[in-house]
Structure 1
């Protein structure tokens, strides 16, 4: 059975374009459209789609208000379309707080290097979000043209015990993607101002979004949170968010581990990339790291985690039930790299218990 989608946008041109792209996939069917948030609420109730795509700025009722109502009355995954501006970033973060699960830029040129790739990315995001309605199944980035069957997940291999004691660790590295903005808020707001380790955050996010996201986290949390800049030194009680569009690399060592910001190697998909940052920690921090992989589509972070784990670093992964998309954590768990598999609500308290 095809995945059922409702497309919401006040622009007739954009609605038709999204409908055509999604309907070109035999596994996806657009079953309805709406031109504003109020109409969207009614259409969603009537048609019961698997996924809703939603514009933010619309007449009658805006997308943020509509998302809040949909999540209260008939919850389901919502994918926001956003402008890559400072105001667009703030509005999109508000939409995620209201219950939306993911977002994409409205301009396809900002989504991918070519239109065909952008179309594939849109369809993959819709598929991944549709699968998030069904608990405890792998939601890795799909490559086939039909929804994944509802099958029990195999028991993952057990990770070898980490050789480095928790009390001797020097940093916490957290990687995430789809669902990450809300997940990071939940984890970080639990930490006390006196949290004794530095934290590095790698969230797949456009360059225009990361300053606003860092500011939001800083306002919500007791610890300091800010966007990382070249030359920053890791310090206790401070979380540095990787800037969008570039790569965050750790260098140095001892008490002077620093941040280097660099352009992405040709062909790099994720900017920032969890793997690139984690791999740089192999030299800078060696085994004295806790690597945490939260919700996200794809497998970014698995190979960097493997390299850290090989030195004796600790690895935690979010569980399937609490992940918006169980792709990145599943890749780590299925590779036998996770020391602990935790529900999202338990990650922050576990950090406090382990280090405070």
Structure 2
């Protein structure tokens, strides 16, 4: 019986204590091998050539060449390793979101102080995301859309005939950037998004998407109205549900059901959409690890709605769309750049 070679990991962080902690956590995980550490971006580039890791855990704020500089350098390298950003929220949120749009495939929240009692909490998430990154397919980053000029939010006249709900995980920020930047300002349906990302980052994601597409993109708030011309991003750490009140559709935020492995859950969003909008619901399942979205896709199809999936051709991780496809729940599937025209054919 042959065993798979271990996943080779390079740890990059300017803090000696952080390097020690991350190395310890990863070295004790089955199937992972820490092949080295680097103290800054320039050191990291030298070690990348010398050690050829499969995955890099990358700090963003470092002297000299920072994490974004490393990511830009990796973009020009053949067979570059996958990158998991290890970042603190708060002031680093914008940098982390930029990194995810630039090519990093996963994000792990680093406590401000890597105290011993936080090691196992950090470790479980870190190990899981390093393993996910090792299976990710490298996709060229889309050129960043030019920032739109400041303008009032677009409001499309007339009541919406559809609600579009989108679920994604690994590779999701890149996919959402590309998808939303293709949508026209008169896109006729409100849209709600569920993205697996640590708490503290969705406000920054919403701000960047808002600057990069023609529609208004907002982080979800309790009671926020979903309407044509507006995209609502679920707040990390809470489920986003939609509820109809007459012709209005409102966002509801809570943590129930607690048992779900992800907050927000794609399943919870999709199921609430199917209940509120029935056959007028259009669900999109984009790149991501795992099966979140499978139960929700079934609920949408049972209600007479439409489910579209991103095909393997463009996925960073063909996990969430694959389980929906294999269950026979996808109405149609296409690479990311083809989803817009596919979406248009399924709107009323």
Q: Same fold (TM over 0.5)?
A: yes
Displacement of 1:77: 0.8
SS of aligned partner of 1:189: helix
Displacement of 1:199: 0.7
Contact 1:191–1:348 (Cα < 8 Å) also in 2: yes
Deviation per CA, 1:241-261, whole angstroms, max 9, x where unpaired? 111211111112552222112
SS of aligned partner of 2:209: helix
Task: Count residues in correspondence.
Answer: 321
Change (3 A) 1:253 1:283: farther
Q: 1:297 aligns with which of 289, 292, 300?
A: 289
Residue 34, structure 1, aligned to residue 38, structure 2: yes
Change (3 A) 1:312 1:114: farther
Deviation per CA, 1:85-144, whole angstroms, max 9, x where unpaired? 1x211010121232211110112999xx97545423221211111112489xxxxxxxxx
SS of aligned partner of 1:73: coil
Change (3 A) 1:321 1:76: farther
Higher RCO, Cα 8 Å, sep 6+? 1
Deviation per CA, 1:292-320, whole angstroms, max 9, x where unpaired? 01111221111111111112211111122
Question: Residue in 1 aligned with 2:144?
Answer: none
Contact 2:101–2:177 (Cα < 8 Å) also in 1: no
Residue 123, structure 1, aligned to residue 115, structure 2: no
Structure 2: distance between partners of 1:189 and 1:350: 16
Change (3 A) 1:253 1:284: farther
Question: Residue in 1 aligned with 2:165?
Answer: 173
Question: Residue in 1 aligned with 2:148?
Answer: none
Question: Residue in 2 aligned with 1:56?
Answer: 60
Q: 2:235 aligns with which of 236, 243, 253?
A: 243
Question: Residue in 1 aligned with 2:22?
Answer: 18
Q: 2:210 aligns with which of 203, 218, 226?
A: 218
* 25-34 vs 283-292, which moves further: 25-34
Structure 2: distance between partners of 1:178 and 1:306: 22
Structure 1: distance between partners of 2:45 and 2:345: 42
- Pairs within 5 Å for 1:309-320: 309-320=301-312
Question: Residue in 1 aligned with 2:143?
Answer: none
Deviation per CA, 1:54-75, whole angstroms, max 9, x where unpaired? 0011112111111111221242
SS of aligned partner of 1:286: helix
SS of aligned partner of 1:239: strand
Displacement of 1:80: 0.5
Gaps of 5+ in 2: 140-159
Displacement of 1:206: 3.2
Question: Residue in 2 aligned with 1:81?
Answer: 86
Gaps of 5+ in 1: 136-167
Residue 189, structure 1, aligned to residue 194, structure 2: no
The alignment's C-alpha RMSD in Å is 2.3
Deviation per CA, 1:209-261, whole angstroms, max 9, x where unpaired? 11111111111111111112222222112111111211111112552222112
Contact 1:5–1:29 (Cα < 8 Å) also in 2: yes
The TM-score, its normalising length taken from structure 1, stands at: 0.84
Structure 2: distance between partners of 1:115 and 1:204: 21
Structure 1: distance between partners of 2:274 and 2:292: 16
Displacement of 1:83: 0.6
SS of aligned partner of 1:297: coil
SS of aligned partner of 2:99: helix
Provide runs of 4+ in structure 1 moved above 6 Å: none
Change (3 A) 1:101 1:134: closer
Residue 336, structure 1, aligned to residue 340, structure 2: no
SS of aligned partner of 2:35: strand
The TM-score, its normalising length taken from structure 2, stands at: 0.86
